[in-house]
Chains A and B, each alone.
Chain A
């Protein structure tokens, strides 16, 4: 039962990764690509945190409950791995800053080309360049 639930979790996260890669590659709209990219990043973060989880009971967050050496042994027996969590925190916030950069670029593309469709952008670019030459 435990391994079934664990494998459902992992497989559905992997399926979400595949769906979001499909969204990044196949959808022509730039905002939709940004949404898919964020879902991809979030799912990857959940998978990384999953690496540090321990399927035991009771399981505790990696924060010392009291400042005495007596509690340390019990703490190490029950706490999850703190390293993936520390790496994911920076990834969440920095990923957001990078998303903001992409968002600004998307708005600027819309101002220049008047469209968010990558196929249209590809067609409009040669026209714009030719107009400048003329």
Chain B
């Protein structure tokens, strides 16, 4: 049974890795926020599997809700595309 937990944990860590890579290399900042929210959801599942229900409650609200809204506010007030 612990193998199942650890398998899901490893998959969430890999999803976090992929989503962070995509978020950091993305030119369109709004899409980057989307990838970063995917990473946040993966880590929320990881926190749940690591038996930390307290952190899940705070992390879901902060990282998926407030943080995405904050970045969308910034992008709305500044510019959307990253120029290299």
Contact = CB atoms under 8 A, between A and B. Distances in A.
Contacts of B66: 96
A9 B9 contact: yes
B16 to A, nearest CB: 6
B13 A13 contact: yes
24 contacts: A8-B14, A12-B13, A12-B17, A13-B17, A19-B24, A29-B83, A35-B71, A36-B23, A42-B63, A43-B16, A46-B13, A46-B43, A49-B52, A53-B50, A56-B2, A57-B2, A80-B51, A85-B52, A92-B62, A106-B74, A107-B74, A110-B77, A110-B79, A116-B78
Interface of B: 1-3, 5-7, 9-10, 13-14, 16-17, 20-21, 23-24, 29, 32-33, 36, 39-40, 43, 46-47, 50-55, 58-59, 62-63, 66-67, 70-71, 73-75, 77-79, 82-84
A46 B78 contact: no
A42 B74 contact: no
Nearest to A60: B51
Task: Give chain A's interface secondary structure class.
Answer: helix
A96 B63 CA distance: 8
Task: Give chain B's interface secondary structure class.
Answer: helix
B17 A19 contact: yes
A63 B51 CA distance: 10
A5, A6, A8, A117: most-surrounded residue (chain B CB, <10 A):
A5
Interface string A72-115: 00000001100001001100110010011001001100100000
Contacts of A6: 6, 10
Interface string A48-75: 0110110111111111000000000000
B60 to A, nearest CB: 10
Contacts of A117: 83
Contacts of B32: 32, 35
